[in-house]
Amino acid sequence: MPRGNMPRQPSRSGRQEGVRRVDRVPSKTVSAPKARRSPALPGTMLKASAPKSAPKKKFAAGYNPLDPERVRQILATLDQLYPNVTCALTHHSAWELLVATILSAQCTDARVNMVTPGLFEKYRTVQDFAALKPEQLEPDIRSTGFFRNKSKSVVGAARKIVSDFGGEVPQTMEELLTLPGVARKTANVVLGTWFKKNDGIVVDTHVTRIARRLELTRQDDPQKIEQDLMQIIPRERWTDFAHQLIWHGRKLCLARGPKCSDCALEKLCHAADKTWSTVEIHKGAKA
Ligand code: SF4
């Protein structure tokens, strides 16, 4: 049996902790074959397979992963699963969010949230950070990893904000990208979460993985993934959509061993590395 397609029983509860239970959004356009019951394993759902004589097809007949109705169903399900989601990084200003996002690279949000309260208590303003040498900051952020580079980025960003932007975090993508250590992902977090501007879509490891599993993109470069998603997700949804995928990636759609039997998106998802499936698996749909 192919790796990653091992059928297993759904959990007794049918849900994971922290995830809202939802009725699955009825699918109108996905025409994948229905799963059948195994006589050997009563109650176990088997992966549906095409007849042996059928020619190999990229997708089931009529199936378009980017069909607007399918995308609408995915968005509606995410809304039910993760209403009112926001950034998990603790912050009280655009500057604090910018710093926290820089520190979150290759680090968990939980770890960053343990570090930042003391950090912002010690250095209260962007001017305080700008007055530091990067080496002075290193001990305070050491536990977030890559602390030397992060210290240079935070101090460099603070100096640039003080010298070029009057001490205020700039509010445009173009200006944010001039700050040391700030690329599109960080800029999108600040613009979307603090300034409520949908200038782009945050593409982190969770968004990358789930967008590929759901066949919303076939790219693996973050900028190309963002461009693909911006084509199919309504602009007013960009910020929330990214937050929802990030939460889904943490709760259910894990990198290894996604909890597909508990996932309300299961009928819409044909990912090759699903752990449980009632619909056709697509080899191209993988994390
Ligand atoms: S069905 Fe599985 S792989 Fe697909 S989105 Fe849900 S958890 Fe992820």
- Which mutation among 24, 75, 263, 277 tests ligand 1's pocket best, with the greatest number of atoms within 8 A of CB? 263
Query: What per-residue confidence (pLDDT) applies to 59?
Result: 60
Known catalytic residue at 251 = no
Average pLDDT, the chain: 86
Is pLDDT above 70 for 94?
yes
Q: What is the DSSP letter of 37?
A: B
Q: How many angstroms separate the CA atoms of 51 and 215, rounded?
A: 23
From ligand 1's centre to the CA of 273, what distance in Å?
Answer: 9
Instruction: Tell me the pLDDT tens digit for each residue of 179-196.
Output: 999 999 999 999 999 999
Query: What per-residue confidence (pLDDT) applies to 159?
Result: 98
Do 201 and 229 meet the contact criterion of CB atoms below 8 Å apart?
A: yes
Cite the DSSP H helix spans in the chain.
68-81, 94-103, 109-122, 126-130, 134-141, 147-164, 173-176, 184-189, 205-213, 222-232, 238-251
- Which mutation among 75, 212, 253 tests ligand 1's pocket best, with the greatest number of atoms within 8 A of CB? 253
Is pLDDT above 90 for 2?
no
Instruction: Tell me the pLDDT tens digit for each residue of 212-240.
Output: 999 999 999 999 999 999 999 999 999 99
Which residues are paired to 45 by β-bridges?
Answer: 37
Known catalytic residue at 204 = yes
From ligand 1's centre to the CA of 264, what distance in Å?
Answer: 8
